[in-house]
């Protein structure tokens, strides 16, 4: 069984408050994009969960994919094992949700492969145990994430082409990104209007990161100078993205960042895959 696991960008991310469990209450708009990892699943009769990956450092039991598989196997007393191979293309710890997407993919694939017959509400409950973005990837498309990000409401699909992703190979732990936020007073909270795209695109984590990591500031300024209508950081970083209307500008801009040795990808949003 071969499957595709998409990345996401955040078009909007407001941090509303700090929760008692040290997580943050957020209000975010996420959109799936056509950058994919691929995962293959092969049942085995040994009862073992084997995970291999093209990045050897991810072939271990700390990987969310392995942890989700093991949880399902124990929780639902599955006698079968599974051989999982993960082909990673989405950059790591990059604000693109790669690990969360892989975990959601594993949940859905094993639900089918092991015939667990879990309902979407059961899948959502399990997803929320393992992380905040996983619930989004159970549906994809364009959606609002609330609470820690795990309460998902599907929004009308926003079709956006010519998105340039730029990653400067900096790892920014989410905890550090959130730690740099100066929490807004309640009257300063921003909201998202899909009919007013460039103006309402916003990321509360961005100012602190731009101060702490000058490379991120440079990328966003360079995207703006090179014609991007929207230029911002995705999630907790370090990937930034620019949305262009002009095809020549996006290609010129990509060449510029490639010359700096940065990772780049030209993407578009994709509609929801699961309902």
143 and 184 assigned to the same domain: no
Is residue 275 in a domain?
A: no
Residues 103-113: what's their mean pLDDT?
Answer: 98
138 and 168 assigned to the same domain: no
Is residue 17 in a domain?
A: yes
Whole-angstrom Cα distance, residue 119 to residue 106?
15
141 and 187 assigned to the same domain: no
Q: How many CB atoms lie within 10 A of CB 198?
A: 11
Q: Residue 77: which residues within 8 A CB-CB, separation 6 or more? A: none
Whole-angstrom Cα distance, residue 16 to residue 20?
13
Q: For residue 184, name the pLDDT band (cuts at 50, 70, 90).
A: low
231 and 124 assigned to the same domain: no
Residue scoring higher pLDDT (259 or 274): 259
Give me the phi and psi of 269, to 5 degrees please.
-75, 155
Q: For residue 94, name the pLDDT band (cuts at 50, 70, 90).
A: very high
Give me the phi and psi of 18, to 5 degrees please.
-95, 135
Domain tally for the chain? 2
Domain containing residue 133: CATH number: 3.30.230.10
Distances in whole angstroms, Cα of residue 163 to Cα of each of 10, 237, 246, 272: 12, 16, 11, 18
Residues 245-268: what's their mean pLDDT?
Answer: 97
% of the chain with per-residue pLDDT over 90: 88
Q: What is the pLDDT of residues 206-244, one digit of tens each?
A: 999 999 999 999 999 999 999 999 999 999 989 999 999
Q: What count of Cα atoms within 13 Å lies in the side-chain half-sphere of residue 20?
A: 0
The whole-number pLDDT of residue 98 equals 96
**Both tokens assigned to 2:** 């071969």
Residue scoring higher pLDDT (186 or 189): 189
75 and 171 assigned to the same domain: no
Is residue 34 in a domain?
A: yes
Distances in whole angstroms, Cα of residue 89 to Cα of each of 48, 96, 165, 239: 26, 11, 13, 14
142 and 22 assigned to the same domain: yes
Widest CA span in the chain: 58
Lowest mean pLDDT among 124-128, 129-133, 171-175, 184-188: 184-188
* Beta carbons of 142 and 157 less than 8 angstroms apart: yes
Structure-token match 């790892």, residue found: 171
Give the catalytic positions in this structure.
Answer: 8, 133
Q: For residue 275, name the pLDDT band (cuts at 50, 70, 90).
A: very low
Domain containing residue 174: CATH number: 3.30.70.890
Whole-angstrom Cα distance, residue 173 to residue 34?
24
126 and 55 assigned to the same domain: yes
Q: How many whole angstroms from its chain centre is CA 1?
A: 23
The whole-number pLDDT of residue 182 equals 79
116 and 173 assigned to the same domain: no
Give me the phi and psi of 2, to 5 degrees please.
-105, 130
The whole-number pLDDT of residue 263 equals 98
**Both tokens assigned to 193:** 């209007």
First to last CA, the chain: 20
Is residue 272 in a domain?
A: no
Is residue 13 in a domain?
A: yes
Is residue 194 in a domain?
A: yes
Mean pLDDT score across all residues of the chain:
95
Q: Residues in the chain, how many?
A: 275
255 and 185 assigned to the same domain: yes
Q: Is the pLDDT of residue 194 over 80?
A: yes
Range of the domain at 83: 2-154
Give me the phi and psi of 83, to 5 degrees please.
-100, 120
146 and 228 assigned to the same domain: no
Q: How many CB atoms lie within 10 A of CB 273?
A: 14
Is residue 215 in a domain?
A: yes
């Amino acid at each position: 069984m071969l499957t595709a696991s998409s990345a996401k960008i955040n078009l909007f991310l407001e941090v509303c408050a700090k929760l008692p469990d040290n997580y943050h209450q957020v209000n975010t708009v996420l959109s799936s994009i056509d950058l994919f990892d691929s995962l293959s699943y092969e049942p085995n009769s040994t009862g073992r969960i084997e995970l291999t990956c093209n990045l050897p450092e991810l072939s271990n039991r700390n990987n969310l994919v392995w942890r989700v598989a093991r949880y399902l196997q124990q929780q639902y007393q599955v006698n079968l094992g599974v051989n999982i191979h993960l082909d990673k293309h989405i950059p790591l710890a990059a604000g693109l949700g790669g690990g969360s997407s892989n975990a959601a993919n594993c949940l859905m694939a094993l639900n089918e492969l092991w015939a667990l017959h879990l309902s979407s509400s059961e899948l959502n409950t399990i997803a929320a145990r393992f992380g905040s973005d996983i619930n989004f990837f159970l549906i994809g498309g364009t959606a609002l994430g609330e609470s820690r990000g795990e309460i998902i409401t599907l929004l009308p699909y926003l079709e956006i082409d010519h998105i340039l992703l730029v990653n400067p190979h900096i790892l920014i732990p989410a905890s550090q990104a959130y730690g740099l936020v100066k929490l807004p007073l309640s009257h300063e909270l921003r909201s998202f209007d899909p009919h007013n795209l460039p103006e309402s695109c916003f990321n509360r984590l961005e100012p602190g990161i731009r101060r702490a990591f000058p490379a991120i500031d440079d990328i966003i300024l360079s995207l703006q100078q090179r014609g991007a209508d929207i230029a911002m950081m995705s999630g907790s970083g370090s990937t930034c993205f620019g949305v262009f209307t002009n095809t020549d500008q996006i290609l010129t801009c990509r060449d510029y960042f490639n010359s700096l040795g940065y990772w780049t990808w030209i993407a578009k949003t994709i509609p929801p895959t699961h309902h």
